[in-house]
Amino acid sequence: MRICVSACLLGQRVKYNGGDNLISGLAERLRGHEVLPVCPEVAGGLPVPRPPVELARGRVLTADGVDKTDAFHVGVEAALAALDLDGVGVDLAILQSRSPSCGVNEVYDGSFTGRLIPGQGLFAEALAARGVRIVDAAGLDTLDL
Ligand code: SF4
């Protein structure tokens, strides 16, 4: 399978705070598949580190209200293009939980208080809209690979 993976899950230090979300053993588990690490935020030219953002009323905002929506959409488009969805395609995407870009099942509610609501990040939503199966990294235990 061709599997898109949030780059931070594979140890790439692309998180907003300069860190990663490494899942130990993930790379080994995906051996034999074509793994496509992608960080849509970095793909769009955002720096590391960068201010944290949350989704609010359809926009991507920092805690002090700076609107990053356009930059995030640029990143989603760049990441989708890199995956060649209209060509060879992607069978599966394994994405970091709760991210405003990669979240699959829930995202922060825009209040910067840690509250979660049902929803998807912009990249996850775009992949799903194009028919790619998206899986939350928190649900890997039940994933049959
Ligand atoms: Fe990880 Fe996705 Fe955030 Fe990039 S945008 S750091 S891949 S969760």
What's the domain range around 128? 2-139
Q: Which atom of ligand 1 is nearest to the CA of 103?
A: 8
Nearest to 116 by CA among 128, 124, 104: 104
**Any domain includes 97:** yes
Tokens representing 132 are 């790619």
**Any domain includes 73:** yes
pLDDT at 102: 98
Is the omega angle on the peptide bond into residue 118 within 30 degrees of 0, that is, cis? no
Per-residue pLDDT band for 144 (boundaries 50, 70, 90) equals confident
Q: For 103-113, how does the pLDDT look when each residue is reduced to its tens digit (9 = 90+)?
A: 999 999 999 99
**Any domain includes 145:** no
Question: In a mutational test of the pocket of ligand 1, which residue from 96, 97, 120, 136 has the highest number of ligand atoms less than 8 Å from its CB?
Answer: 96
Q: For 5-62, how does the pLDDT look when each residue is reduced to its tens digit (9 = 90+)?
A: 999 999 999 999 999 999 999 999 999 999 999 999 999 999 999 999 999 999 999 9
Q: How far is the CA of 36 from the centre of ligand 1 (A)?
A: 13
**Any domain includes 144:** no
Total length of the chain: 145
Q: Into how many domains does the chain fold?
A: 1
Beta bridge partners of 95: 136
Write out the E strands in 14-132: 34-38, 53-56, 59-62, 92-95, 106-108, 116-118
Report whether 128 contacts 120 (CB < 8 A): yes
| Eight-class DSSP state of 67 | B
